[in-house]
Amino acid sequence: MTRDHLITCTRRIEFDAAHRVMQHESKCKQLHGHRYALEASFAARRLDKLGRVVDFSVIKKLLGGWINEHWDHTTILFDKDKALGKAIAGVTKQKIFYLPANPTAENMAEYVLKHVCPELFGKMPIECVRVRLYETPNCYVDIPQG
Ligand SMILES: [Zn+2]
């Protein structure tokens, strides 16, 4: 069945990470951590033969796998913040993920929508149409496609 409206499905993925926002006016310029919750919504014009946009487990495996490898229990820094990244990695040997922008919730969610999802799901008949990222239980951002 083809429909003239988008059907979406959303998967929630939680992870822990440290970050800091360079030049922040207040406390967020300090290195600190969050329990992030990312919700990625996918759309398809046509459901698969079982009646799904995509199986939820596929999103968990691909996007959850990417987050587990690159963001969970890491430090996420602006790529202009390499001095801090080198200092942390020099002591802890932990992985630093450098974002091409300040790691605000907005920039992190946009990175997932524009770079990560196309790379992971580009060959499938689905598209990531929105990424919502909770930085705290009370604060989240929405990045729509386009
Ligand atoms: Zn923060």
Picking from 46, 18, 146, 93, the residue whose alpha carbon sits closest to that of residue 54 is 46
Compute the distance from residue 34 Cα to the ligand 1 centre, in Å: 6
What tokens were used for 3? 């429909």
Helix%, strand%, coil% for the chain, nearest 5: 30, 40, 30
Compute the distance from residue 40 Cα to the ligand 1 centre, in Å: 20
Compute the distance from residue 14 Cα to the ligand 1 centre, in Å: 15
Residue 73 annotated among the catalytic residues of the structure:
yes
Q: CA-to-CA distance for 21 and 15, rounded, in angstroms?
A: 18
Mean pLDDT of 69-98: 96
**Residue 45 pLDDT:** 81
Mean pLDDT of 140-145: 96
1 or 110, higher pLDDT: 110
Average pLDDT, the chain: 95
Range of the domain at 110: 2-144
Catalytic residue among 24, 73, 115, 139: 73
**Residue 2 pLDDT:** 56
Q: Indicate the pTM of the whole model.
A: 0.94
pLDDT above 60: residue 135:
yes
Compute the distance from residue 78 Cα to the ligand 1 centre, in Å: 13
Q: What is the DSSP string of 26-75?
A: SGGGS-EEEEEEEEEEEEEEE--TTS-SS-HHHHIIIIIHHHHHHTTTEE
Compute the distance from residue 146 Cα to the ligand 1 centre, in Å: 26
Cα 108 → chain centroid: 6
Compute the distance from residue 26 Cα to the ligand 1 centre, in Å: 11
Give the CATH number for residue 99: 3.30.479.10
**Residue 146 pLDDT:** 78
Catalytic residue among 28, 39, 70, 110: 28
Residue 28 annotated among the catalytic residues of the structure:
yes
pLDDT above 90: residue 55:
yes
pLDDT classification of 16: cutoffs 50, 70, 90: very high
Structural domain count, the chain: 1
Mean pLDDT of 119-135: 95
**Residue 6 pLDDT:** 77
